Structures are given as structure tokens and as C-alpha cells.
């Protein structure tokens, strides 16, 4: 039996159980487990790669750190918009498993993949032709070394490592490798456009203070979970535009160039409640929603909005406000009559979800949605909501 036969026979097996089982002596169990686990992870995250016969998968950590197919497709569409013409060449200076590279390289006549990890380079050499990227050039080098000798490109793409030498996660731009802050001018001397992928855990506003050539910020979420932040750097300094995208079956993008905008405060609750999606909250542009959607904010710090008329295309969750009360025992008893479980959210309220759930004696789940928040007059309130009947 070959390794390939063993992998095919056990492609759906439990990897942990398989690791403890007895296998033929000629089977490289470590390699086979890595391939089986890799394919299982990519079935959901990277369906195109999972369907491609012969793909070799790297260790699990590289799969966990790579982009999803949905996020990679977003970058591909972004490059089509930013580079309508002149897509001659690109370089990915931090290649990794090559997901982003494989989608971006399709747009360019020439494409260079740079990676300091020799094993990942060998995997890229094997995988790229299977994905139709016969012209891709693989370079086993540190990106800093490659930069010193590289040519001019239409696009430079980077996804700096967010772990230190000990493998611990870092949260400051200066701690990432390579350090974009110190090399931004050098990068822009080699390309008119530089796109940097960052973790949503990084402080976006601190990063923008450190980088002087950012023209666009893209915050990308998938099914409500914030996945990555993309910075577009160019030679000419422009006002920064924020693009907040939530990729779902009904993908929504909210774009604005007004990060610091005074919100319109609601003097009282309307019929509907709105909670911005994770991308908007990460970008810090929620106040701009007031003008765009004609809604009002419950409180400057609450980040919840309300209106009398239903805004069906709001980029986030929409609720019907059924009733609300103060936190006086009598008021709470009336508001929560007959309710034994709920979905509880805290916004600008001096308690944690766990603490308040214990206080209210409510289990998690059900069709009731409760929001503990602060209203425009500074009073604390509990809002009882339900989902509207929306059809698309």
C-alpha cells in the first residue's frame, strides 16, 4: 500500500484515532495524517483546493493562518478594481501556503512567490501547476533579502507574520515580520500599489498613525466574524476610505471616508433596533451609519441604532423592539414575564453577559433577544426584541 492509497482510504477518518491505530510498516504515518487533516480543513475553508487532486498540505498551523477562499476572492476582486490596467507583474513577499497568491496571480502576466520556509516553497512548487499557475516563480528567500534585489512590480502583497521567535502572537505593527512601518517607502519605490494584510487583533488606528501612505482600509468579515484587515498603500496621499464587508449569502459592504463623524442621538426608542456588523465596529466608522441610513444612535457610546421605519439593507443585525424597561425589579418582572431563556447582548452597560444572565435567571437560547444598554439620558435599559420577518 502506498501513502496515497492510505490517504484515499482514510480521507474521512478521525485523525486523532487514526494516529493511535496500527498501520502498515511502509506507510509514512506523520505525512499521511498531515494530508488527511489538511484536506478535511480545506473542504470548508478552501473548497477549490480540496477538490484539486494531488494537492499537498502543509502543517496545520499554516492552514490556520492562511486566508479562506472567500477572503482570497475578495482580494482578487479588489485588485481588479484597483488595477483596471497595467496588471503586468506581482510579488507576494510572504507566500505561506499560497492561497492569496494563487488567486491574485491569475490576474497578472508574471507572478513571484517569496517564502523563507523551505518546506512551504517545495509545497508551492508542487501545488501551483495543479492550480493552473505554471508561470508562477517560487523563491526560497527571506522577504527582506528579496526586496533588496527585486525589480519593479505592478503590485506588492504582504501578510506579515504576527508571531515572535517563540511562536507567541504579537499585537503591534512594529512587532510583525517584516516591519512594514520601517520599509513602506522602500516598498512603494518598487510598486505603485502595496497591499498589506493584517490581523483584526491589531490596533487599526495605531497602525494608520504609523503608515503615511494608506488610501484604503478594508475590514473583511465572513459570516459575521471579522477575519482580516487590508491596507492599500500608494504613492499619492489621499483621504482614507473605509470599506467594511461582511461576506455571506447576501454580502454587504459599507463604505465611507468619514471615520470621525458626530452621531445623531435618538431622544427616544423607535420601532426597530440595529446592531452594526463586526467589520464596521472594527473599522470604527459606526457613527457614519446615521447619515447613510437615516437612523439614530441610542447613546454616543452604545453603538446601537434605532428608527421608526424599517431599513432592510442595514449592514448588520435588525430587530423589532417589542418593549423595554429600567432595571427596577418590578419593571424587569413585567418585561420578562414568561421568558425563561434569551439571547443576551451587552452594549455600553456596566456588567458582563454572564453576570447579567445570572441576575436575570435566564438560560441561553430561544427566540427572545435582550439588549442591556445605556440610553441618551444616561439611564440603563433592557430592550426586549425579536427578529423581523425579512425576505430577500
CATH no. for residue 49?
1.10.10
pLDDT band at 324 (very low <50, low <70, confident <90, very high): very high
Give the pLDDT confidence score for residue 322 in this predicted structure.
97
15 and 122 in a single domain? The answer is no
354 and 285 in a single domain? The answer is yes
Give the pLDDT confidence score for residue 199 in this predicted structure.
86
74 and 157 in a single domain? The answer is yes
Give the pLDDT confidence score for residue 142 in this predicted structure.
92
Nearest partner of 97 among 146, 62, 48, judged by Cα: 62
Alpha-carbon gap, residue 347 to 187, rounded angstroms: 41
Confidence check: pLDDT of 392 > 60: no
Give the pLDDT confidence score for residue 166 in this predicted structure.
52
Contact residues for 383 (Cβ-Cβ < 8 A; gap 6+): 269, 273, 321, 323, 324, 370, 371, 372, 373
Give the pLDDT confidence score for residue 99 in this predicted structure.
95
247 falls within a domain:
no
43 and 84 in a single domain? The answer is no
What's the structural domain count of the chain?
3
Alpha-carbon gap, residue 5 to 118, rounded angstroms: 26
Confidence check: pLDDT of 167 > 80: no
Nearest partner of 158 among 95, 103, 245, judged by Cα: 95
Average pLDDT over residues 80-108: 93
Average pLDDT over residues 107-121: 96
Which residue, 23, 45, 64, sits at the end of a domain?
A: 64
Average pLDDT over residues 173-185: 86
Alpha-carbon gap, residue 27 to 19, rounded angstroms: 12
pLDDT band at 390 (very low <50, low <70, confident <90, very high): confident
Instruction: Please give the grid coordinates belonging to residue 176.
Output: 510583525
pLDDT band at 171 (very low <50, low <70, confident <90, very high): low
Average pLDDT over residues 160-177: 69
- Of residues 170 and 174, the one with the higher pLDDT is 174
257 falls within a domain:
no
pLDDT band at 391 (very low <50, low <70, confident <90, very high): low
Confidence check: pLDDT of 165 > 60: no
Cross-strand pairs, 316? 276
264 falls within a domain:
no
Question: Which value, in Å, is the radius of gyration of the alpha carbons in the chain?
Answer: 25
Average pLDDT over residues 348-367: 95
Give the pLDDT confidence score for residue 170 in this predicted structure.
61
33 and 123 in a single domain? The answer is no
108 falls within a domain:
yes
pLDDT band at 185 (very low <50, low <70, confident <90, very high): very high
CB 96 within 8 Å of CB 127? no
pLDDT, averaged across the chain: 92
Contact residues for 132 (Cβ-Cβ < 8 A; gap 6+): 106
Residue 322's CB is within 10 A of a number of other CB atoms, namely 13
218 and 159 in a single domain? The answer is yes
Average pLDDT over residues 47-67: 89
CB 305 within 8 Å of CB 274? yes
Core vs surface per residue 329-365: b (16+ CB within 10 A) or e: eeeeeebbeeeeebbbbbbbbeeeeeebbeebebeee
Give the pLDDT confidence score for residue 343 in this predicted structure.
97
Which residue, 34, 64, 94, sits at the end of a domain?
A: 64
pLDDT band at 4 (very low <50, low <70, confident <90, very high): confident
Give the pLDDT confidence score for residue 84 in this predicted structure.
82
pTM here is: 0.90
119 and 199 in a single domain? The answer is yes
C-alpha angle 356/360/365, rounded to 5°? 85
Alpha-carbon gap, residue 371 to 324, rounded angstroms: 9
Range of the domain at 48: 3-64
92 and 204 in a single domain? The answer is yes
Give the pLDDT confidence score for residue 174 in this predicted structure.
77
267 falls within a domain:
no
159 and 189 in a single domain? The answer is yes
Give the pLDDT confidence score for residue 21 in this predicted structure.
86
Alpha-carbon gap, residue 301 to 294, rounded angstroms: 18
47 falls within a domain:
yes
Q: Which of 24-28, 121-125, 148-152 has the highest mean pLDDT?
A: 121-125
Give the pLDDT confidence score for residue 164 in this predicted structure.
58
Give the pLDDT confidence score for residue 282 in this predicted structure.
94
Alpha-carbon gap, residue 222 to 47, rounded angstroms: 15
pLDDT band at 18 (very low <50, low <70, confident <90, very high): confident
Amino acid at each position: 500500500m502506498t501513502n496515497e492509497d492510505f490517504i484515499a482510504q482514510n480521507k474521512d477518518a478521525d485523525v486523532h484515532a487514526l494516529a493511535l491505530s496500527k498501520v502498515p510498516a511502509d506507510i509514512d504515518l506523520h505525512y499521511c495524517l498531515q494530508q488527511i487533516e489538511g484536506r478535511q480543513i480545506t473542504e470548508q475553508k478552501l473548497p477549490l483546493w480540496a477538490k484539486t487532486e494531488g494537492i499537498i498540505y502543509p502543517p496545520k498551523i499554516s492552514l490556520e493562518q492562511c486566508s479562506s477562499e472567500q477572503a482570497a476572492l475578495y482580494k482578487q476582486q479588489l485588485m481588479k478594481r484597483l488595477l483596471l490596467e497595467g496588471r503586468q507583474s506581482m510579488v507576494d513577499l510572504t507566500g505561506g501556503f499560497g492561497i492569496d497568491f494563487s488567486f491574485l496571480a491569475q490576474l497578472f502576466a508574471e507572478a513571484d512567490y517569496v517564502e523563507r520556509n523551505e518546506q512551504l516553497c517545495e509545497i508551492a512548487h508542487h501545488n501551483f501547476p495543479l492550480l493552473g499557475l505554471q508561470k508562477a516563480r517560487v523563491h526560497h528567500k527571506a522577504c527582506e533579502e528579496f526586496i533588496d534585489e527585486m525589480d519593479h512590480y505592478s503590485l506588492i502583497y504582504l501578510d506579515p507574520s504576527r508571531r515572535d521567535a517563540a511562536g507567541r502572537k504579537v499585537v503591534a505593527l512594529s512587532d510583525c515580520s517584516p516591519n512594514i512601518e520601517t520599509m513602506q517607502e522602500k516598498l512603494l519605490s518598487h510598486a505603485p500599489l502595496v497591499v498589506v494584510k493584517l490581523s483584526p487583533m491589531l490596533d487599526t488606528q495605531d497602525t494608520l498613525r504609523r503608515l503615511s501612505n494608506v488610501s484604503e482600509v478594508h475590514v473583511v468579515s465572513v459570516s459575521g466574524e471579522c477575519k482580516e484587515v487590508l491596507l492599500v498603500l500608494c504613492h499619492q496621499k489621499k483621504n482614507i476610505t473605509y470599506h467594511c464587508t461582511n461576506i455571506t449569502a447576501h454580502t454587504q459592504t459599507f463604505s465611507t471616508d468619514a471615520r470621525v463623524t458626530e452621531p445623531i442621538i435618538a431622544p427616544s426608542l423607535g420601532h426597530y433596533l440595529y446592531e452594526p456588523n463586526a467589520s464596521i465596529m472594527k473599522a470604527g466608522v459606526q457613527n457614519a451609519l446615521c447619515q447613510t441610513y437615516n437612523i439614530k444612535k441610542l447613546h454616543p457610546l452604545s453603538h446601537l441604532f434605532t428608527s421608526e421605519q424599517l431599513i432592510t439593507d442595514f449592514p448588520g443585525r435588525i430587530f423589532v423592539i417589542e418593549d423595554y424597561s429600567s432595571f427596577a425589579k418590578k419593571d424587569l418582572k413585567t418585561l420578562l414575564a414568561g421568558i425563561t431563556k434569551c439571547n443576551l447582548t451587552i452594549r455600553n452597560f456596566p456588567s458582563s453577559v454572564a453576570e447579567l444572565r445570572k441576575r436575570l435567571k435566564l438560560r441561553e437560547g430561544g427566540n427572545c433577544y435582550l439588549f442591556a444598554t445605556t440610553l441618551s439620558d444616561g439611564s440603563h435599559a433592557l430592550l426586549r426584541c425579536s427578529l423581523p420577518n425579512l425576505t430577500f
